[in-house]
Amino acid sequence: MTVIDNLRERLSTARPRPVDAMPIEPVGWAEHQEGVDKLLASFRAVPADKRVRLAKKTSNLFRGRSEEQAGLDVSGLGGVIEVDPVARTADVQGMCTYEDLVDATLPHGLMPFVVPQLKTITLGGAVTGMGVESTSFRNGLPHESVLEMDVLTGTGEILTCSREENVDLFRLFPNSYGSLGYAVRLKIKLEPVPAYVELREERFHTVEEASRVLADVASSHTHRGEPVHGLDGVVFSEDEAYLVFARFTDEEGPTSDYTRDKIYYRSLQHASGIRRDRLTIRDYIWRWDTDWFWCSRAFGAQNPKVRKVWPRELRRSSFYWKLVRLDRKYELEYNFIKKPHGKPRAERVVQDIEVTPENLPEFLHWFFNASDIQPVWLCPIRLRDGVDELVGTGDIASSSSDPWPLYPLRPGQTWVNVGFWSGVDGDHVDPSAPNNGAFNRVIEAKVNELGGHKSLYSEAFYSREKFEELYGGNLPATIKAVTDPDDRFPGLYEKTVDEA
């Protein structure tokens, strides 16, 4: 089968669930137990000297992983177990996607405290990794609304952990990326939401002013006398930045639909002042998924002529992921576009970094002058109030002054997530060594200089010493010696830097 034949076959069968909401019924506790039994049976079937990983068909990680590991059967762990609209909680299986979770909770007028931007991100993945969204300035990160978790550890046991039980595992699980085990069940808090979201999109002509307002609103939760329930932004250049202030409301009125011809991030651009828009709550939650922020332009999906014939149900991040995987496997861009014109392979630059608001302008000025990547996404993060009560709890994690020791965020401090997802020519920094992460290393150095850090879902190039300085020191190894004494899972550094 040729490359083109393979591409046609894959795309012809790539029909995901509809763009619009669909009824999601809870699977219930009996079916959940069946899924757990299937998972445990698959774990026991793996030879004791072989490492294990999840056997999952999709991933939102932008880094490689070793295939020298046996896959665990998680086919029965992809649903919502139960929604309690009175207590405002949900019990959710670890492999449940946020798309299914949202469609199970919205009929009750509820949603998770933080919903990452892409529909196929799983709840377990967001908690063991990193997930941020426009509610993160008031609701923190996905793991902060977790009440308890059942985690499959390297011993083959499933441990329930919470703020009162197995506290070390509870505190060290976030940002562990599967190095300490996998979440089988999570009980999370839900917050009430109305039917609509009013957006106020304000243009700023300097990144300094945008950074100042972003910091002010992140701590006050208000702007120009109006409440702010969601906050993020897009920066196109040093003199074109937009902040989007979202207000949740039950007020009825006309709404926009960015799953069709109009493209959300382009709609933000205007000459000056404030532009207003309205979305349904579900369309607001998934406003970035339709065009994978702006990355669908790489596939031609933003060309008006192409968009007219591009099936609406395939305008979603999960389908674009299929195209990315095909490109990785067959190097389509290089073989069909770059190589014929004598151009080098591109270096992938897909990262989310965090710096404080006072250092944000310097980073943005530097970034726009160091590359031609644009736009970038801004999303402020603050840990939830009361989370500092975790400090000093647990036996292993008690020495850390960070509530969640594997990710360096402290109560009362605003950080700004800067997301950029593109690439640069392979000789962008070092012509003698293309494709070795040259520009990514320069970015890491600049972020370190500014006292920042980055998410670990993509390539990382830290030395082990620097990595331990940023991500928990010896705590990952200490807890791993308890939960995974036979080293069935790769360590955190192996997983995120060595790509084990």
Token couple for 65? 């992983």
In a domain, 225, yes or no: no
Tens of pLDDT, residue by residue over 271-299, are 989 999 999 999 999 999 999 999 999 99
d(CA 258, CA 247): 18
Whether 339 has a pLDDT exceeding 80, the answer reads: no
Q: How confident is the model at residue 237 (pLDDT cuts 50, 70, 90)?
A: very high
Q: What CATH number is given to the structural domain containing 158?
A: 3.30.465.10
In a domain, 317, yes or no: no
Give the model's pLDDT for residue 22. 94
In a domain, 128, yes or no: yes
In a domain, 315, yes or no: no
Give the model's pLDDT for residue 1. 46
Contacts of 101 (CB under 8 A, 6+ apart): 24, 80, 90, 92, 112, 123
Give the model's pLDDT for residue 498. 84
Whether 65 has a pLDDT exceeding 90, the answer reads: no
Give the model's pLDDT for residue 15. 56
Whether the Cβ atoms of residue 140 and residue 237 lie closer than 8 Å to each other: no
Cβ atoms within 10 Å, residue 272: 9
d(CA 14, CA 2): 18
Q: Which of 105-109, 330-334, 489-493 has the lowest mean pLDDT?
A: 330-334
Whether 249 has a pLDDT exceeding 80, the answer reads: yes
Residue with the bigger pLDDT between 51 and 158: it is: 158
For 235-248, what is the mean pLDDT? 98
Whether the Cβ atoms of residue 120 and residue 97 lie closer than 8 Å to each other: yes
For 24-38, what is the mean pLDDT? 98
Residue with the bigger pLDDT between 12 and 110: it is: 110
Q: How confident is the model at residue 59 (pLDDT cuts 50, 70, 90)?
A: low
The domain in which residue 98 lies consists of 21-192
Torsion angle, alpha carbons of 205, 207, 208, 212, to 10: 100
Give the model's pLDDT for residue 7. 46
Whether 429 has a pLDDT exceeding 80, the answer reads: no
Tens of pLDDT, residue by residue over 4-26, are 455 445 544 445 688 999 999 99
Give the model's pLDDT for residue 299. 93
Token couple for 330? 């067959």
In a domain, 125, yes or no: yes
Q: How confident is the model at residue 154 (pLDDT cuts 50, 70, 90)?
A: very high
Whether 348 has a pLDDT exceeding 50, the answer reads: yes
In a domain, 420, yes or no: no
For 57-82, what is the mean pLDDT? 73
pTM: 0.93
Token couple for 290? 């339709």
Q: Which of 65-74, 184-193, 406-415 has the lowest mean pLDDT?
A: 65-74
Alpha helical stretches, state H, 177-303: 207-220, 264-267, 281-285
Q: Report the number of distinct structural domains present in the chain.
A: 1
Whether 84 has a pLDDT exceeding 50, the answer reads: yes
Write down the mean pLDDT value for the chain.
Answer: 91
For 140-167, what is the mean pLDDT? 97
In a domain, 217, yes or no: no
Percent pLDDT > 90 in the chain is 80
d(CA 228, CA 232): 11
Whether 35 has a pLDDT exceeding 50, the answer reads: yes
CA dist 20 → 280, 312, 313, 315 (Å): 12, 10, 9, 11
In a domain, 452, yes or no: no
